[in-house]
């Protein structure tokens, strides 16, 4: 294989040993600087040809062909830049690490087109390249609206691809802290249960064996109180709502979780002695008591290992103070 990159046109020669590979698989292994999903998009749009003819992503290469990839200039994002304060721990021309507050949505979506992390990043970042063909920050992994903590954001396609590969290879480390209902008996453990869309409620995720994906969460108990435990968690995989679903699955949902927490049921099950304190605690926290506290990654350009940590937000600190002083 040889490559010649001129004005966003990339010419690739297929070798005999690459015969039989799918077109998208062949391209994902090349130095295009594009993610596999971006390449599949380009193929669907007719921007990839094999010996001059557009082909499907599943096309099996015959060997000795020439694959031409045309990468159009990125278009402007439909999200609007907004001057929203950001707590940035690290930034260079390739990526930045931000501490997201609880209550902030990451991506604009139906009903939430402003006030998001993407809106804030579009205002802050003046050196963005096209991520996925759109001029916007490259969110490598997400946090739920009511989860606070650390996120890494890529500024260009190559960095986005490299960080995404670290996620897939499980070499990008994410550690969380949470307060959960009940006293967790084990000192530590691993929750390995597949996560997919809930069969009974399409707005929720669940532990299910239907249309699911492998999900693994490691936990360690940091401190136990009479009806609440503080735990630290390490994600091995990163499924939607994974931590919240897994903790609910083992009977210890995250405190304040509006979807998986079972607030009213939990309050009713408490001894009358603890119920007033529990109600006070729930009134203190602004979202679910879940915080992305540590993040570790290898910088795709320098090869240097970077690790960041942030304290729990003030409401979670207040929660622990109440538990410590009143129990």
| Class of the CATH domain delimited by 3-70 | alpha beta
Q: Residue 290 is encoded by which pair of tokens?
A: 């879940």
The answer to whether 295 touches 152, Cβ cutoff 8 Å, is: yes
d(CA 325, CA 228): 14
Among 157, 182, 172, 191, CA closest to 292: 172
CATH 3.30.2350.10 assigned to domain 174-293+307-326? The reply is yes
Q: For residue range 92-144, what is the model confidence (pLDDT) as tens digits?
A: 999 999 999 999 998 877 667 789 998 899 889 877 766 655 656 788 888 99
d(CA 61, CA 269): 62
CA angle 101, 35, 212 (to 5 degrees): 70
CATH number of the structural domain 75-169: 3.30.2350.10
Tens of pLDDT, residue by residue over 20-49, are: 999 988 887 555 767 677 788 888 888 899
pLDDT digits (tens, 9 = 90+) for 72-106: 766 655 678 899 999 999 999 999 999 999 999 98
Q: Give CATH 3.10.290.10 domain extents, the chain.
A: 3-70
For 154-209, how does the pLDDT look when each residue is reduced to its tens digit (9 = 90+)?
Answer: 998 888 888 988 988 899 999 999 999 999 999 999 999 999 999 888 889 999 99
Q: From the CB of residue 140, how many other CB atoms can be counted at a distance below 10 Å?
A: 22
Domain with CATH 3.30.2350.10 in the chain: 75-169, 174-293+307-326
Residue 144: active-site member: yes
Of the residues 24, 144, 157, 257, only one is catalytic, namely 144
């Amino acid at each position: 294989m040889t490559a010649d990159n001129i004005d966003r046109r990339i010419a690739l020669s297929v070798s005999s040993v690459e015969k039989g590979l799918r077109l998208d698989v062949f391209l994902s292994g090349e130095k295009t600087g594009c993610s596999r999903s971006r390449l599949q998009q380009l193929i669907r749009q007719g921007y990839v040809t094999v010996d001059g003819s557009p082909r499907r992503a599943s096309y099996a290469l015959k060997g000795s062909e020439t694959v031409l990839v045309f990468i159009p200039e990125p278009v402007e994002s439909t999200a609007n830049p907004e001057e929203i304060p950001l707590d940035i721990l690290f930034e260079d021309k390739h990526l930045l690490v931000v501490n997201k507050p609880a209550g902030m949505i990451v991506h604009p979506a139906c009903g939430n087109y402003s006030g998001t992390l993407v809106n804030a990043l579009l205002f802050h970042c003046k050196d963005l390249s096209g991520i996925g063909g759109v001029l916007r920050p490259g969110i490598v992994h997400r946090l739920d609206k009511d989860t606070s903590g650390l996120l890494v954001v890529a500024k260009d396609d190559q960095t986005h691809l490299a960080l995404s590969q670290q996620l897939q290879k499980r070499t990008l480390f994410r550690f969380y802290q949470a307060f959960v209902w009940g006293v967790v008996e084990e000192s530590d453990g691993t929750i390995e249960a597949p996560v997919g869309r809930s069969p009974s409620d399409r707005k929720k995720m669940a532990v299910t064996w239907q249309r699911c994906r492998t999900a693994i969460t490691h936990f360690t108990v940091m401190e136990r109180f009479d009806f609440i435990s503080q735990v630290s968690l390490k994600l091995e995989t990163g499924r939607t709502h994974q931590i919240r679903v897994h903790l609910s699955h083992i009977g210890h949902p995250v405190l304040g979780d509006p979807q998986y927490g079972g607030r009213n049921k939990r309050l009713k099950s408490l001894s009358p002695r603890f119920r007033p304190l529990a109600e006070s605690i729930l009134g203190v926290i602004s979202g679910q008591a879940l915080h992305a506290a540590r993040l570790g990654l290898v910088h795709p350009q320098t090869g240097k290992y970077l690790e960041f940590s942030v304290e729990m937000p003030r409401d979670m600190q207040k929660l622990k103070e109440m538990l410590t002083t009143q129990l």
